[in-house]
Amino acid sequence: MDIKILPVNETKQPVKDESHLVFGKEFTNRMFIMEFDRDKGWHSPRIQQYGPFSLDPAALVLHYAQEIFEGLKAFRRPDGSIALFRPRDNFERFNLSAERMCMPQLDVDFCLRSLNELLKLEQDWVPHTEGTSLYIRPTMIATEPVLGVKPADSYLFYIILSPVAAYYKGGLSPVKIWVSDEYARVPSGGTGEAKTGGNYASSLYASTLASEKGYDQVLWLDSVERKYVEEVGSMNICFLYDGKIVTSPLCGSILNGITRRSILTLVDEFGYEIEERALSIDEILDGSENGRLTEAFGTGTAAVVSPVGQFTYKGRNVLLGNGKAGELTMKLYDTLTGIQYGRIEDKHNWVKML
Ligand code: COI
């Protein structure tokens, strides 16, 4: 398929002062977009002006949330070149989410080509300061106007770009986490592994309560026993417990994080034993107090590697690391961002240059 490049107005310019960048509030001038319908398959791929599109008020996405998305980043290196981190993995995961949500598959090579074309046109928007990046959001929505609950016959796929700074306002200062005993992110057997908007919508109520109490994020426990750690809505979570790396297994209800995967490779190379096992909230609370748990950190495209400094569960408050990011957490942050920004050799072929 040929990608049409439509004329656009360069109405916006990248900010000069990158210290004002925040996460996900500003978008570039162009977006990639194409449509799907059952007769034609995917068609009309084009790069056009970023802006609102019209949707029928009955479009299925607006009623039954048939939607998926991805998040990946482009990094500006000191020599001006632009690096993408594991982009193929993101589009492969996108297809897994599509399958789970009964949406059409995409050709991964075509997606990568479309993204490259878009990035070439918008490359001035990749910010220059380390810690910033151009966040890439591929999205698919169900557009068929019908009120019956069923997989749609028509879809829109688009990619938008947003220059961003750190996801958490505090940058690398440890986040405070509220462990929800009452609410669950997804039920067992639900859509937890898919990157679909509904998982995030269902997290909002508890996140709002947590935020009102002064917490940055909610840690979700499994929905059956409300005992085992699953994930922190916007990131996977890892623990340094008894000197080993412990993280929840990919049990179907947590996201199969690409940063999680990269971090597990790195800790393995650093010589840590890895246990992908159910870790109970009691182990975390007791471990923080008796010294068996020494570090906890979240991993995610937006969050990168994010130190955790506090857990609160049913009124019990435990602190980790005296308000400072742990040594391993920092080493992982430095190694991962080093690979992304080109300071450290990419031995795994994770990086794809534009
Ligand atoms: C990402 O890390 O890219 C995500 O999609 C998480 C989102 C909550 C920002």
**What are the pLDDT digits (tens) for 224-235?**
999 999 999 789
For the residues 20-30, what does the mean pLDDT come to? 92
The DSSP secondary-structure symbol of 4 reads E
β-bridge partners, 237: 298
Nearest to 136 by CA among 14, 213, 27, 63: 27
Taking CA atoms, 164 is separated from 49, 85, 169, 338, in Å, by 20, 15, 12, 18
- Fold held by 175-341: D-amino Acid Aminotransferase; Chain A, domain 2 (3.20.10)
298: Cβ below 6 Å to ligand 1?
Answer: no
**What are the pLDDT digits (tens) for 35-57?**
999 999 999 999 999 999 999 99
Contact, 219 vs 236, CB < 8 A? no
For the residues 103-129, what does the mean pLDDT come to? 97
User: What's the confidence (pLDDT) of residue 169?
Assistant: 67
Which protein residue has the closest C-alpha to ligand 1 atom 8? 234
Pocket test for ligand 1, best of 134, 193, 234 (most atoms within 8 A of CB): 234
- The two counts, helices (H) then strands (E), for the chain are 8, 17
Mean per-residue pLDDT of the chain:
94
The DSSP secondary-structure symbol of 190 reads S
The model's pTM: 0.94
Is residue 17 scored above 80 in pLDDT? yes
Name the more confident of 226 and 170: 226
Is residue 183 scored above 70 in pLDDT? yes
User: What's the confidence (pLDDT) of residue 170?
Assistant: 64
Q: What's the number of CA atoms in the CB half-sphere (13 Å) around residue 46?
A: 13
Q: Cα of 258 to ligand 1 centre, how many Å? A: 11
| 146 vs 66: CA distance, rounded Å | 13
- The percent of residues in the chain predicted with pLDDT above 90, rounded, is 86
Pocket test for ligand 1, best of 68, 167, 169, 261 (most atoms within 8 A of CB): 167
For the residues 273-294, what does the mean pLDDT come to? 93
User: What's the confidence (pLDDT) of residue 233?
Assistant: 76
User: What's the confidence (pLDDT) of residue 61?
Assistant: 98
- The percent of residues in the chain predicted with pLDDT above 70, rounded, is 99
Q: How confident is the model at residue 251 (pLDDT cuts 50, 70, 90)?
A: confident
User: What's the confidence (pLDDT) of residue 79?
Assistant: 94
301: Cβ below 6 Å to ligand 1?
Answer: yes
Is residue 69 scored above 70 in pLDDT? yes
Is residue 11 scored above 70 in pLDDT? yes
User: What's the confidence (pLDDT) of residue 116?
Assistant: 97
Residue ranges per domain, the chain? 4-164, 175-341
Is residue 171 scored above 70 in pLDDT? no
User: What's the confidence (pLDDT) of residue 16?
Assistant: 84
259: Cβ below 6 Å to ligand 1?
Answer: no
Backbone torsion region of residue 302, taken as left when φ is above 0, otherwise alpha when ψ lies between -120 and 50, otherwise beta: alpha
**What are the pLDDT digits (tens) for 302-346?**
889 999 999 999 999 999 988 789 999 999 999 999 999 999 999
- Fold held by 4-164: D-amino Acid Aminotransferase; Chain A, domain 1 (3.30.470)
Q: What's the number of CA atoms in the CB half-sphere (13 Å) around residue 8?
A: 20
Q: Cα of 71 to ligand 1 centre, how many Å? A: 6
For the residues 59-87, what does the mean pLDDT come to? 97
Is residue 95 scored above 70 in pLDDT? yes
For the residues 258-276, what does the mean pLDDT come to? 97
H or E stretch covering 23:
none
Looking at ligand 1, which atom is closest to the CA of residue 302? 2
For the residues 217-225, what does the mean pLDDT come to? 93
| 235 vs 68: CA distance, rounded Å | 17
310: Cβ below 6 Å to ligand 1?
Answer: no
